[in-house]
Amino acid sequence: MKFPWSRLALFTMLVLALLPPLAVLLYAFSTRWDRSLLPEGATWAWMAETVRAPRVQAAVVQTLALSLASALLTLLVGGTATIVARLVSPRVTALLDALSLLPYAIPPVVIAIGALELFVGRWGGWLDLRVVYVLVVSPLLFPLLHKTLAAAMRQLDVAPLMEAAHTLGASDGYVLRRVLLPLLAPALVAGLLLCWVTAAMEFAIANLLLGGSIEMLQPLMNGMRNVNGHLSAALVGLSFAVVAAMGMMVEGLIAWNTRRNSSSDRPR
């Protein structure tokens, strides 16, 4: 009988992936964890204090609002570019595929420093930092939306759909409004949620660009770690729950869209 190396490797990866967040959650619900290998006591006090803190509430509201604005801007501009490029020319689509790789090649710290030099150093007198933050973060979210929409449009096989519409005398605008956008609605919502989650978890740009004026959730977690580790762990636990819920929404929408497309392709 062969030794199950693949199962052992999978189990090891699961343990390594789940151990850090599990330790953070245990620290958030323990009275103290500094005298032994295991935590001592169990309490909801840290979590309740974190939820009631006005500073935390303000940071959560600002983070959700600015990250949602960044995601909506990405959906409006990036989603339009992806759909139009897919309908116009494969060369334009290939160009967007190449441009979508640029955010992964440039570190966020470099982008934040460049934004500070340009928008704050030179134009800071009349530009709102929140607007600058949205404009800087949105291009970083474009690859997520672009890949999501591109995969959905490949499943729909848009080219034959447009050719059939032209044969029947329908215009591109009519097909886009009445056929293509309704079919792409689940992918658009999933891409929006994915961009929203990613923007809400962004740290480097929020810390460097907004750290002195507007407090965001991720920099607040880093600052609270030096004040009270239990409160910081409780805040991390709450963010885990929010991100997990939004991730489940994204997975559910993608699965529902896949099932709907597969059922529509079956012969009746």
Please name each of the domains of the chain with its CATH number.
53-265 (1.10.3720.10)
With contact defined as beta carbons under 8 Å apart, do 49 and 116 qualify?
Answer: no
Q: Give the pLDDT band (50/70/90) at residue 186.
A: confident
Which among 145, 149, 151, 126 has a CA at the least distance from the CA of 73?
145
Q: Which residues of 135-158 are buried (b: 16+ CB within 10 A; e: fewer)?
A: ebbbbbbbbbbbebbbebbeebeb
Q: Which residue has the tokens 């805040």?
A: 235
The model's pTM is 0.78
Higher pLDDT, 25 or 76: 76
With contact defined as beta carbons under 8 Å apart, do 207 and 219 qualify?
Answer: yes
**What average pLDDT does range 199-212 have in this prediction?**
80
If 0-12 CB within 10 Å is exposed, 13-18 middle and 19+ buried, where does residue 123 land?
exposed
HSE-CB at 166 with a 13 A cutoff on CA atoms is: 8
Which among 12, 159, 8, 28 has a CA at the least distance from the CA of 90?
159
d(CA 122, CA 14): 48
With contact defined as beta carbons under 8 Å apart, do 261 and 155 qualify?
Answer: yes
pLDDT in tens, 73-103: 999 999 888 888 887 778 888 888 888 888 8
Q: Which residue has the tokens 């997990």?
A: 244
DSSP letter for each residue of 66-122: HHHHHHHHIIIIIHHHHHHHHHH-HHHHHHHHHHTTHHHHS-HHHHHHHHIIIIITT
HSE-CB at 167 with a 13 A cutoff on CA atoms is: 6
pLDDT of residue 70: 93
